[in-house]
Amino acid sequence: MSQKQSGFEATNLGFSYDGKAILKDINLKINQGEFVCLLGESGSGKTTLLNLFAGLTKPNEGRISWNGKEIEKPSAERSVVFQDYSLFPWLTLLPSRRLKKSRAAMRNIWLKNT
């Protein structure tokens, strides 16, 4: 018997950062094959929600699942494509932003890693 492909489901989902609630009591179901857009102001939690769905971040409250299985970590089944490369994962915020501003530095890193 094959498992029905149900898609994403968030139940009583909540996420806080430094004691500030970013997402609270989110209940959402996205069926397999549906196309969904997240719209909202900067800082409203859109990227946080996507990171939770991708398994890049764990919720502080509630449950989030993909096809009936709880999301606990990243998986090849789910991913996030970022709009631009604004941060480099191996650097903290300020060095990452400084590096982005320097095309020469970026070119040198690319040459070094290829």
Which residue matches tokens 């719209």?
39
All structural domains of the chain with their residue ranges:
1-81, 82-114
Q: What is the per-residue pLDDT for 26?
A: 95
Task: Say how many C-beta atoms besides its own lie within 10 A of residue 30's C-beta.
Answer: 15
β partners of residue 13: 26
* Greater model confidence, 13 or 91: 13
Which helix (H) or strand (E) is 46 found in, with range? helix 46-54
For range 46-62, the mean pLDDT: 93
How far from each other are the two terminal CA atoms of the chain, in whole angstroms?
47
pLDDT in tens, 62-85: 999 999 999 999 888 887 776 665
Q: What is the per-residue pLDDT for 42?
A: 83
CATH 3.40.50.300 for the 1-81 domain, yes or no: yes
Contact between residue 106 and residue 86 where contact means Cβ atoms under 8 Å apart: no
Work out the pLDDT band at 1, boundaries 50, 70, 90: very low
Q: What is the per-residue pLDDT for 43?
A: 85
- Compute the distance between CA of residue 77 and CA of residue 67 in angstroms, rounded to an integer: 10
Q: What is the per-residue pLDDT for 60?
A: 95
DSSP label at 84?
A: S
Residue 103 reports pLDDT greater than 50? yes
What are the tokens at 78?
């789910």
